[in-house]
Structure 1
Amino acid sequence: MRSYVIVAVLTACLMLLAPGPVFAAERGPVTNLPLPRFVSMKASEGYARRGPSSTHRIDWVFKRRHMPLQIVAEYGHWRRVQDREGAGGWMHYSLLSGNRTVVVTQPEVVLYRRPSPDAAMSARLQAGVVAWLNECAEGWCRLEVEGADGWAPIPALWGVAPDETRD
């Protein structure tokens, strides 16, 4: 009996000293897609509610089509979303799109023809501009907005993970 107690104490001590467990990325219980993840507004207006049903109070109204949002939870046909400032709530999935966009967060961002600050400039974007997200690699993403196309550094954007890679 005493040896079981010693083994249990030693195991507990080792668990405290060992690095934390490595968890797989959290998955949504409804879609089995990663959480959190980015999406965009499909509709030109969408209600963010206090809870996951149409009977819950509206806390926020998003009024910009294609604005990037981050899904942080799922429940049935409802997705808990946040914008870049943390505002949000529960939205019906039909108001959201898997087509990815980003919003420019710096006062001005240069789009380059290649993913390098030494490349030729193709456009300048101001803070708040929403652009379509294409591929991303090594800290850069290719964007498209109103006929302009080019590469921007990820830290200047919201709607893409800092280390995200997309083909």
Structure 2
Amino acid sequence: MLGAGFVGETMQAHAQSATTGASGLPIPRFVSLKSDRVNVRKGPSRDHDVVWTYIHAGLPVEIIQEFENWRHIRDWQGQKGWVFHSLLSSRRTALVTPWDESLKTPVRAKANSSAPIVAELETNVLASINACEDGWCRVHGDAFDGWVDQTRLFGVYPDETLD
């Protein structure tokens, strides 16, 4: 499992080194998997071996490099590999506290730590992100809709604003 140090390093690196990739979009950035079957390769071409395959659409990954139509990604476990760009979506999603299986994450009615709790999420719950502001993200899933502390999500940078 991913250690909390990795998450901090990723977030700190983003704050210090955001650039623009060949696509014209910022690097690093978060995206999600578009398909239930996404092959991850050792390098940026179909000539490179598949090192693993994701089997769940919607999982968040971080694009850390671009080469032509290929994206070098990093997942919540720190694993890196290359994915063809059309297998990724700009739809923003997040995994809830994948770095600590013992945590439950409160979902609040408002973006405030004293707001009523409307749900509690287990580790690795996949959520769609509606918006983020002032350190809170509005998330939803099959059985929840509300606000979560942004630091408890893999798929969004600290203090990143989304609307």
**TM-score in terms of structure 2 length:** 0.84
Instruction: Kindly state the Cα deviation for residue 70 of structure 1 after the two structures are TM-superposed.
Output: 0.3
Q: Can you list the C-alpha shifts for 1:36-94, whole angstroms capped at 9, x where unaligned?
A: 00000110011110111111011222122100000011111111111011113110111
Give the SS at the match of 2:20. Answer: coil
Provide the rounded CA distance (Å) in 1 between the counterparts of 2:113 and 2:160. Answer: 19
**Amino acid in the other structure paired with 1:26:** T
Q: Distance in 2 between matches of 1:24 and 1:101?
A: 22
1:27 aligns with 2:23: no
The alpha carbon displacement at 1:148 in A equals 1.7
Rounded Cα–Cα distance in structure 2 between residues aligned with 1:108 and 1:60: 29
> Matches of residues 109-128 of structure 1 in structure 2 within 5 Å?
109-128=105-124
Q: Secondary structure at the match of 1:135?
A: strand
Distance 2:70 2:33 in 1: 14
In structure 2, the residue matched to 1:158 is 154
Alignment match of 2:42 (pick from 39, 46, 50): 50
Residue matched to 1:77 = 69
Amino acid at match of 1:42: K
Could you tell me the percent identity over the aligned residues? 38
Structure 1: where are the runs of 5+ without partners? 1-22
Higher Cα radius of gyration: 1
The match for 2:145 is 149
Which structure carries more relative contact order (alpha carbon 8 Å, separation 6+)?
Answer: 2
Question: Which of 135, 138, 147 in structure 2 is aligned with 1:139?
Answer: 135
> What TM-score comes out, normalization by structure 1 length?
0.82
Aligned equivalents of 2:124, 2:17: Cα separation in 1 = 33
Q: What is the letter of the counterpart of residue 110 of structure 2?
A: R
Partner of 1:104: 96
Question: 5+ residue gaps in structure 2?
Answer: 1-15
Q: Once superposed, what is the RMSD of the aligned Cα atoms?
A: 1.4
Which 4+ stretches in 1 moved above 3 angstroms? none
